[in-house]
Chains A and B, each alone.
Chain A
């Protein structure tokens, strides 16, 4: 991945820094690994997306619409725990290859026992689930990639 390809991601990270009181981000270009430092106290490492699978249009950084097939990224609206199913015994809301409709529930984000069902804002096909079940997600962290179809 070249630096110019990464620019939208960097722009998004800077926006995230402003929103979340992040004091430092270490960016690694080859593996696209990012270390994020919050207020100088908590450090967490976050793999933005696997190399090669990273979509070209990550965010609306320049106002340009996402091109056909580039995919829509569903981001977390809050910090919390990511759940793929309504309860541990139930099947996932959405898996790669699933056709989903606008308004359909994709996952639950839990923060302090507040359950937030995240609905898809578009119709399409799940191309990727970017977070593991039960994993912590940050504000604005990409969770799904949905391709038009």
Chain B
């Protein structure tokens, strides 16, 4: 990095709220709490960051970036302060007040076949649950147990961006992991099961630091590891409880090595899991 580029970066970090002390050639970090912006987020996540104050959907932008990011190039993270068309599973709207939550999409390229991708996504969800010290509702909802049920802190919508052989050299297959985590929002209209870190009594002073910890935890997952799903199993809620998935009612016994939820001996690969109160 040239001196000019470095100086430009330091000025940009300061503009985003990072307090630095310059002493000749030496730079000392004084305080970065509350700093927020593309340069701060790139530093925290150790990845290229595309930051948007508002965008329709971080997943949509991340998929466009995945489509043109060549093999071997650093993989981007897309972060938005506000999503105007945030999506959940099957078109469900994901609502978030501007600037209060974490909304981001991470581009990942694990060396796995499409059929093996779901278990990697469970492992990435578990890595995030571990950072946040919360539980997992199959397959990858970030939740906390409450009384006889649960409250949802965050969700993940993963999309596969399939390899393009038309480009030379070929662009590999990517997974775009779209994540929404409620941080300081305290009111959720029409969402009785929603919660946030603030409602859980956890004050997050620095959203950028939390984002960095989440992305770095995702990047630290070894998708080839034999014990890939152990952390998921340790963080799971609902196991041993009676659940309903579609027409199937039974006891949630655990997850198979491919990530399928075993309900009274039958593997479940898709669908919403509901707790049945007993």
Interface residues of A, Cβ cutoff 8 Å to B: 41-42, 77-81, 83, 86-90, 103, 110-117, 119, 136, 139
Contact = CB atoms under 8 A, between A and B. Distances in A.
Interface residues of B, number: 29
A115 B160 contact: yes
A79 B267 CA distance: 12
Interface in B225-278: 259-260, 265-267, 269-271
Query: Max chain B CB contacts within 10 Å: which of A42, A80, A86, A115?
Result: A115
Nearest to B156: A113
Given A88-B90, A112-B121, A112-B259, A81 B160 contact: no
Interface stretch (B39-47, B72-80, B112-120, B207-215): B112-120
Nearest to B138: A112
B33 interface: no
Nearest to A118: B162
Contact of A113 (B91, B139, B162, B166): B139
A127 to B, nearest CB: 23
B124 to A, nearest CB: 11
Given A112-B139, A113-B139, A114-B175, A87 B91 contact: yes
A144 to B, nearest CB: 16
B32 interface: no
Contacts of B117: 78, 111, 114
Contacts of A42: 266-267
A117 B267 CA distance: 23
Given A77-B115, A78-B114, A117-B162, A112 B270 contact: yes
Contact of B91 (A79, A81, A88, A139): A88
A13 B160 CA distance: 27
Contacts of B140: 112-113
Interface in B140-174: 140, 156-160, 162, 166
Interface of B: 89-91, 113-115, 117-118, 121-122, 138-140, 156-160, 162, 166, 175, 259-260, 265-267, 269-271
B118 A112 contact: yes
19 contacts: A41-B265, A42-B266, A42-B267, A78-B114, A79-B115, A81-B270, A87-B90, A87-B91, A88-B91, A90-B91, A110-B89, A112-B121, A114-B158, A114-B159, A114-B175, A115-B160, A116-B159, A117-B159, A117-B162
B182 to A, nearest CB: 18
A114 B162 contact: no
Contacts of A86: 91
Contacts of A79: 115, 269
B256 to A, nearest CB: 11
A78 B271 CA distance: 16
B91 to A, nearest CB: 2
A110 B270 CA distance: 7
A117 B163 CA distance: 12
B122 to A, nearest CB: 7
A119 B269 CA distance: 22
B20 to A, nearest CB: 41
Nearest to B271: A81
Nearest to B165: A121
A77 B162 CA distance: 11
Given A87-B90, A87-B91, A114 B265 contact: no
Contacts of A78: 114-115, 117-118
Query: Max chain B CB contacts within 10 Å: which of A79, A114, A136?
Result: A114
A73 to B, nearest CB: 18
A112 B269 contact: yes
Nearest to B164: A103
B90 A77 contact: no
B127 to A, nearest CB: 16
Given A110-B90, A113-B158, 16 more contacts: A78-B117, A83-B90, A87-B91, A111-B118, A112-B121, A112-B140, A112-B260, A112-B269, A113-B140, A113-B156, A114-B121, A114-B160, A115-B160, A116-B160, A117-B160, A136-B269
